[in-house]
C-alpha cells in the first residue's frame, strides 16, 4: 500500500511493476495472501493488540473470587475470551484486536453484571472493574463504558483516529496519506509535508505497525488512509516490544456479521478554483479518485472478509521528467560512456565498449522492454538524464483481509 513519490527516476519501472498485480487472477491471489498472512500469526500482533484488565468487587469494595468473566464482540457475534477472577479478584485479557467489546460477569449470589461498548484502541491497556450487587443471577446490571478518557494503566502517550474522523477531517492532499491526519495529534509535526516528526523524533527512530506487524520507517511507507479502520500514533513511552520510542499504528478494516462497504468518487478540477490576482489566473489541474470497499461474513460468527480498491488519476497536472536508457544503451552500445565495460567472464574490456547481442540476457531485455520506455522526439539524442517527459500519473491499490472467528475459551487466570 505504498505510494511512490512522483517524479523520481524509477517511477516508470515501479508504475509498470504495479500493473502485474492488477490482473484479476493475481489480484485475487494477492488479497488472499494478505488476508491469511495478516491473520495466521496472531503472536506477531503484539504492538497493536490491546489488553483489558480489572478487579471484580462487590458494593462494599471486597474482592469477588471465582467470578466468571466473559468477553464478547457483538459485531462478530463471538465469545472472544473467558476467565475466572483470581484470589485477589483480578482478571486480564491480552492480545485483543482493537474494536468494541462487551464484558459480562457472573457469580452465584450476585446480580449479573454487564459492561457494553468497551472501545479498545490499538496498543491500549485498559481497566474495567466490575462491581457486583447482591441479588439473583437472573437480574442484570448493565452499564456503558465507551472510550477511555484517561489512560491510568501505562505511561504511554498516544492518539487514535477512527475512519469516520479521517473522512470528516478537511484535509487537502494529492494523495490521502495517513500522516496528514496524525499531524493534528499533540506532539506531532508535519515535517514540511513529509514524514511526521514526533516530539522531535525523526523517521529513523520511528516504527510503522501494519495490523500488528512492525516495520521500520525506512524507504517509502506512505499508506492510503482509506484502507484503515483506525490510525494511531505513539509519541512517548512506547510499549516494550517496540525497539524505537515512537510508532505509527495502522489497523485495516475487517469484516463483521453485517455487510458494509463504501463507494466513493472525488474530483479536483482547477475550473472550480478561484482565480488568482496575478497571472496566470489558474494553473490547469485535474485529478480523479475512486475508492470501493466491501466487507461481511463468509460464515456467520466464524469467518469474515474485507476487500478494498483505490485508484487515482491525474491526467492534467505538473509535468515531470524521468531518466531512461538511451537507444544505444538499450542495444548494448556504450561508446559515449566514459566508463569501460568489462567482460565479467574474461575480465577484459568489451571491444568498442559494446556488449555483443548474444551476451545480453533475454530476461534483462524483457525487463527493459516492459518497464523502461524509450526516449522520444527531441529527447532521443539526449543524455540519459531527465530524457523522458510525461504528465499523466495514475496508481491503483488493492488490499484485502480475511479473518476467522475461532473461539478461545481457555480459562485465563490473572
Q: Is residue 216 part of a domain?
A: yes
Q: Is residue 285 part of a domain?
A: yes
| Average pLDDT value for residue range 170-189 | 82
Whether residue 219 is found in the same domain as residue 280:
yes
Whether residue 194 is found in the same domain as residue 269:
yes
Q: Looking at residue 311, which CATH number applies to its domain?
A: 2.170.130.10
Lowest mean pLDDT among 36-50, 264-278, 329-343: 36-50
DSSP H/E element including 23 = none
Per-residue pLDDT tens digits for 193-244: 577 888 888 877 888 888 877 776 555 566 888 888 888 888 887 766 677 7
pLDDT computed for residue 297 by the predictor: 92
> Angle at Cα 228 formed by Cα 7 and Cα 122, nearest 5°?
125
Whether residue 298 is found in the same domain as residue 372:
no
Whether residue 91 is found in the same domain as residue 161:
no
Whether residue 127 is found in the same domain as residue 195:
no
Q: Looking at residue 104, which CATH number applies to its domain?
A: 2.60.40.1120
Q: Is the pLDDT of residue 377 over 70?
A: yes
Whether residue 180 is found in the same domain as residue 224:
yes
DSSP state of 300: T
Q: CA-CA distance, 129 to 57, in Å (whole number)? A: 8
- Domain boundary residue, one of 146, 180, 200: 146
Whether residue 253 is found in the same domain as residue 382:
no
Q: Is the pLDDT of residue 408 over 60?
A: no
Q: CA-CA distance, 127 to 265, in Å (whole number)? A: 41
Q: CA-CA distance, 167 to 287, in Å (whole number)? A: 18
Q: Which residue did the predictor score with more confidence, 356 or 215?
A: 356
- Domain boundary residue, one of 81, 113, 146: 146
Q: Is residue 2 part of a domain?
A: no
Q: CA-CA distance, 268 to 100, in Å (whole number)? A: 36
Q: CA-CA distance, 113 to 111, in Å (whole number)? A: 6
Q: Is the pLDDT of residue 394 over 90?
A: no
Q: Is residue 40 part of a domain?
A: yes
Q: Is residue 61 part of a domain?
A: yes
Q: Is the pLDDT of residue 37 over 60?
A: no
DSSP state of 297: E
pLDDT computed for residue 309 by the predictor: 92
Q: Is residue 115 part of a domain?
A: yes
Domain hosting residue 381, numbered range: 324-390
pLDDT computed for residue 178 by the predictor: 83
DSSP H/E element including 43 = none
Whether residue 301 is found in the same domain as residue 351:
no
Q: Is the pLDDT of residue 409 over 70?
A: no
Whether residue 220 is found in the same domain as residue 314:
yes
Whether residue 272 is found in the same domain as residue 354:
no
Whether residue 174 is found in the same domain as residue 276:
yes
Q: Is residue 364 part of a domain?
A: yes
Confidence of residue 319 (pLDDT cuts 50, 70, 90): confident
Length of the chain: 414
Cell numbers at residue 370, please?
A: 516492459
Contact 128, 118 (CB under 8 A): yes
Lowest mean pLDDT among 181-185, 221-225, 331-335: 221-225
User: Structural domain tally of the chain?
Assistant: 3
Contact 222, 250 (CB under 8 A): no
- Domain boundary residue, one of 113, 146, 179: 146
Per-residue pLDDT tens digits for 65-107: 999 999 999 988 889 999 999 999 999 999 898 889 999 999 9
Q: Is residue 4 part of a domain?
A: no
pLDDT computed for residue 36 by the predictor: 40
Q: Mean of the per-residue pLDDT values for the chain?
A: 78
Q: Which residue did the predictor score with more confidence, 9 or 227?
A: 227
End-to-end Cα spacing for the chain: 39
Amino acid at each position: 500500500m505504498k505510494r511512490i513519490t512522483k517524479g523520481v527516476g524509477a517511477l516508470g519501472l515501479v508504475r509498470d511493476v504495479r500493473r502485474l498485480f492488477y490482473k484479476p487472477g493475481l489480484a485475487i491471489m494477492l488479497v488472499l495472501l494478505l488476508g491469511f498472512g495478516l491473520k495466521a500469526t496472531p503472536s506477531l500482533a503484539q504492538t497493536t493488540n490491546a489488553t483489558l484488565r480489572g478487579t471484580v468487587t462487590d458494593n462494599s469494595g471486597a474482592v469477588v473470587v471465582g467470578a466468571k468473566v466473559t468477553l464478547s464482540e457483538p459485531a462478530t457475534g463471538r465469545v472472544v475470551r473467558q476467565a475466572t477472577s483470581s484470589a485477589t479478584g483480578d482478571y486480564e485479557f491480552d492480545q485483543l484486536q482493537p474494536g468494541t467489546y462487551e464484558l459480562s460477569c457472573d457469580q452465584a449470589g450476585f446480580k449479573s453484571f454487564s459492561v457494553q461498548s468497551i472501545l479498545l484502541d490499538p496498543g491500549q491497556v485498559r481497566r474495567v472493574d466490575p462491581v457486583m450487587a447482591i441479588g439473583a443471577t437472573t437480574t442484570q446490571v448493565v452499564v456503558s463504558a465507551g472510550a477511555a478518557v484517561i489512560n491510568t494503566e501505562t505511561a504511554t502517550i498516544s492518539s487514535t483516529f477512527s475512519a469516520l474522523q479521517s473522512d470528516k477531517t478537511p484535509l487537502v492532499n494529492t494523495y490521502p496519506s495517513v500522516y496528514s491526519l496524525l499531524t493534528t495529534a499533540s506532539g506531532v509535526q508535519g515535517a514540511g509535508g513529509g514524514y511526521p516528526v514526533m516530539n522531535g523524533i525523526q523517521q529513523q527512530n520511528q516504527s510503522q505497525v501494519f495490523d500488528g506487524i512492525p516495520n521500520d520507517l525506512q524507504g517509502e511507507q506512505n499508506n492510503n488512509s482509506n484502507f484503515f479502520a483506525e490510525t494511531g500514533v505513539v509519541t512517548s513511552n512506547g510499549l516494550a516490544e517496540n525497539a524505537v520510542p515512537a510508532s505509527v499504528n495502522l489497523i485495516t478494516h475487517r469484516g463483521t456479521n453485517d455487510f458494509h462497504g463504501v463507494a466513493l468518487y472525488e474530483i479536483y478540477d482547477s475550473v472550480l478554483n478561484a482565480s488568482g490576482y496575478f497571472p496566470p489566473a489558474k494553473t490547469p489541474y485535474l485529478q480523479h479518485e475512486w475508492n470501493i470497499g466491501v466487507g461481511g461474513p463468509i460464515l456467520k460468527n466464524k469467518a469474515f472478509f474485507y476487500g478494498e480498491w483505490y485508484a487515482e488519476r491525474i491526467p492534467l497536472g505538473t509535468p515531470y521528467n524521468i531518466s531512461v536508457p538511451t537507444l544505444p544503451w538499450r542495444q548494448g552500445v556504450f561508446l559515449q560512456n566514459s566508463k569501460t565495460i568489462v567482460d565479467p567472464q574474461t575480465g577484459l574490456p568489451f571491444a568498442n565498449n559494446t556488449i555483443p547481442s548474444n551476451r545480453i540476457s533475454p530476461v534483462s531485455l524483457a525487463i527493459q522492454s516492459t518497464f523502461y520506455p524509450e526516449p522520444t522526439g527531441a529527447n532521443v539524442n539526449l543524455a540519459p538524464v531527465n530524457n523522458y517527459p510525461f504528465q499523466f500519473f495514475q496508481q491503483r491499490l488493492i488490499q484485502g483481509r480475511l479473518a476467522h472467528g475461532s473461539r478461545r475459551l481457555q480459562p485465563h487466570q490473572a
